[in-house]
Chains A and B, each alone.
Chain A
């Protein structure tokens, strides 16, 4: 009998963090423009010392001003989607749950687009306008997950296959809504639609938004983490969890809201990137087991690693052109989803 201890948790997390660091360095180096490892190290030290002006080369500018923010965005989005996925899987007692499969990402995208439409009719300061898209995305995500949850209930119990079907139908319906909204909007373009449907990290985001996302992620994921022990028991069913002392209604609402915030934030800056929230928690479960005290931080770090790798592939495989990162995750994720579904039915 060897229960999880804090030192073991921290050790495992630091191994994953070290792996993430290596992946980030490689991602900084790779791209249409080649950068030497020495130049990269020198430029990064300059950034860390706050001497951005000391960076002389154009290559350094490419790394620090273009690649680094995009990689940081990938880290936050990947971590958010994975933690949301792990949370939905526990909450809905469905190992195939994921913000994308359940239609929550599409709901967030619809919310974000509607927020953009509303914003264009209001006279807002730029700071306020920047927040309205994440807010719309959160509301879209929250409403969608509530709808899917109700669709998946049968006789007061969550029915796995009904829930998945409900999610998939909701996702395709909402995708149609997105296409409709984009084609009727003034000044819309095809690129924007693809962004929301496939997921993309290439749009440059202001630095303040990046900090906002990071802060939001830490708060929402932190709140979910406080319920990690309760989520372990919830896997055995709500009734059983209640008899083991879990305040089920409170945990349900807290995790549901926090996971919707994570999904909404991720989708508002990157569109609907699929399968990260499904693939990563499963991978982490295979390695570390299904204890949420380990699984949640491992999923956050693992999600960051996977999405940075996927985005680096999206940037480089057809360079100087680009793939959308959602296409990369779907190419890998969809077959894996089929595999998991088949194994579950067997």
Chain B
């Protein structure tokens, strides 16, 4: 499965890296082809960026730009075609499933529940990576789950059914489950989709506070230019499988670049806090 130029035994061991950097995406590329003999339907060209503990990275780009592929690669669900992704010096896709779940938590677009469960049961699932085989939750697990719910301000939802709460409340509980995993890296795929703006700001405020308090590195895939501008420490701008620019919001969210990527007229102004704000215009 691994490329010939790399010994799998060597690469599963910790690599020497800059200790300030937690997540390091190094020259990572990927190609998706339904069968190997055909030309790939989608390719991701080599891209690199890094994230420190406590830092929020937003991955932006139009549909089919490869944002979600980047997230899947980082989560270890996909293996890069070339390059490597290191989390604290370990190659993510080579980590055993359980170990990976102890270090990386993924918040996906609304998970569909087959049978309803209560919010606290859902959050306790986040403790699964720390168990082996059949096991009953310990008092520690309960404490960690309780704290996770409190950290996202969802203690009052604890006893509610997951299918009976609002989209914003549900997104909080899903985030609490990710916190219960006690990860180093938090990945979020379109967390603000289907949320009203009040709930969006609530969620990102808690996320920024949590990243600072718990020293998580956070990677968010999103369509919301202004939320990324307001909350991200770094922005990765993508288009058609290419990473166009990486940097602080002010250096990436520039008018010419965004107009070209999104094919829409817009203007960018700086706010008092030194963050860009994007405004859209009609084409006609």
Residues of A in contact with B (beta carbons under 8 Å apart): 1, 3-6, 93-95, 225-229, 232-233, 235-237, 239-240, 242-247, 285, 289-291, 293
Chain B residue with the shortest CB-CB distance to A93: B114
Interface: B281 (CB within 8 A): no
B117 touches A247 (CB 8 A): no
Contact partners of B129 in chain A: CB under 8 A: 244-245
A235 touches which one: B102, B113, B124, B135 (CB < 8 A)? B113
A322 CA to B146 CA, complexed, in Å? 56
Cα-based distance from A242 to B133 in the complex (angstroms): 15
B143 to chain A, nearest CB (A): 10
Residue of B nearest to A234 (CB): B114
B209 within 8 A of partner (CB): no
Whether B136 and A293, one on each chain, are in contact in the complex, defined by CB atoms closer than 8 angstroms, is: yes
A158 to B165, CA, bound (A): 26
Among B105, B124, B134, B142, find the residue whose CB has the most chain A CB atoms closer than 10 A.
B134
Are the CB atoms of B108 and A3 closer together than 8 Å? no
Complex A-B, nearest 5 residue pairs according to Cβ-Cβ distance, in ascending order? A245-B101, A245-B129, A290-B115, A3-B137, A1-B120
In the complex, the answer to whether A3 meets B124 with C-beta atoms within 8 Å is yes
| Structural contact, A4 and B136, CB atoms closer than 8 A | yes
15 A–B contacts from the bound complex (CB under 8 Å): A1-B124, A1-B145, A1-B146, A3-B121, A3-B141, A94-B114, A232-B125, A233-B125, A235-B114, A240-B111, A245-B98, A245-B129, A247-B97, A247-B98, A293-B136
Of the candidates A3, A226, A291, the one whose C-beta lies within 8 Å of that of B133 is A226
The reply to whether A1 and B158 contact each other, CB–CB distance below 8 Å, is yes
**How far is B138's CA from A5's CA once the two chains are assembled, in angstroms?**
9
Contacts of A244 in B (CB 8 A): 101, 125-126, 128-129, 181
In the complex, the answer to whether B111 meets A1 with C-beta atoms within 8 Å is no
A232 neighbours in B (Cβ, 8 Å) = 125
Is B106 located at the chain interface by the 8 A CB criterion?
A: yes
From B141, which residue of chain A is reached at the shortest CB distance? A3
Contact B142 A1 (CB under 8 A): yes
Q: Name the residue on B nearest A291 (C-beta).
A: B121
Q: Is the CB of B77 within 8 A of A243?
A: yes
Question: Which residues of the other chain, B, contact A236 by a CB distance below 8 angstroms?
Answer: 111-114, 125
Decide: B136 and A6 in contact? CB cutoff 8 A: yes
B 44-75 to A, binary, CB cutoff 8 A, 1 in contact else 0: 00000000000000000000000000000001
**Is there a chain A Cβ closer than 8 Å to B100's Cβ?**
yes
Q: Cβ of B136: which chain A residues have Cβ within 8 Å of it?
A: 3-6, 293
Closest chain A CB from B110 CB (angstroms) = 11
Alpha-carbon distance between A9 and B263 when the two chains are bound, in angstroms: 60
- Shortest A273–chain B CB gap in Å is 24
Instruction: Name the distance in Å between A252's Cβ and chain B's nearest Cβ.
Output: 13
Q: Are A239 and B102 in contact (CB under 8 A)?
A: no
Is B35 among interface residues, defined by CB-CB distance under 8 A? no
> Which of chain A's residues have a CB closer than 8 A to the CB of B125?
232-233, 236, 244
Complex CA–CA separation, A5 to B139 (angstroms) = 11
Report the nearest A residue to B123, measured CB to CB.
A1
- Would you call B7 an interface residue if the criterion is a C-beta within 8 Å of the partner chain's C-beta atoms? no
Least CB distance, B156 to chain A, in whole angstroms:
13
Q: A245-B102, A247-B97 are in contact. Are A225 and B134 (CB under 8 A)?
A: yes
A243 to B108, CA, bound (A): 10
Give me 8 other A-B pairs in contact (C-beta within 8 A), A237-B112, A244-B101 excluded: A3-B121, A235-B113, A236-B112, A236-B125, A239-B77, A245-B128, A246-B97, A290-B116
* A240/B115 contact (C-beta < 8 A), A1-B120, A233-B125 known: no
Which residues of the other chain, B, contact A235 by a CB distance below 8 angstroms?
113-115
CA A125 to CA B114, docked complex, whole Å: 48
* Chain A residues whose C-beta falls within 8 Å of the C-beta of B111 in the assembled complex: 236-237, 240
Contacts of B75 in A (CB 8 A): 243
Of all chain B residues, the one with the shortest Cβ separation from A9 is B136
Alpha-carbon gap, A294 to B142, bound state (A): 18
Give the residues in chain A near B77, CB-CB below 8 Å.
239, 242-243
Most chain B CB within 10 A, of A3, A5, A232, A245, is at A245
A229 touches B134 (CB 8 A): yes
Let me know if B131 is at the binding interface, CB within 8 A.
yes
- Please state if B134 and A293 are interface contacts (CB–CB under 8 Å): yes
A219 to chain B, nearest CB (A): 15
B92-107 with Cβ < 8 A to chain A: 97-98, 100-102, 104-106
Chain A residues, Cβ within 8 Å of B120:
1
Residues of B within 8 A of A242 (CB): 77, 97
In angstroms, Cα B119 to Cα A1, docked, is: 9
A3→B126 CA distance, assembly (Å)? 13
A245 CB contact (under 8 Å) in B100, B133, B142: B100
| Complexed CA–CA distance, A1 and B101 (Å) | 23
- What residue in chain A is nearest B126 (Cβ atoms)? A244
CA distance A242 to B142 in the complex (A): 22
Distance in angstroms from A58 CB to nearest chain B CB is: 48
- The 8 Å CB contact of A229, one of B100, B101, B102, B135, is B135
Shortest beta-carbon distance from A155 to chain B in Å: 11
**Which residue of chain B lies nearest to A89 when distances are taken between CB atoms in the complex?**
B114
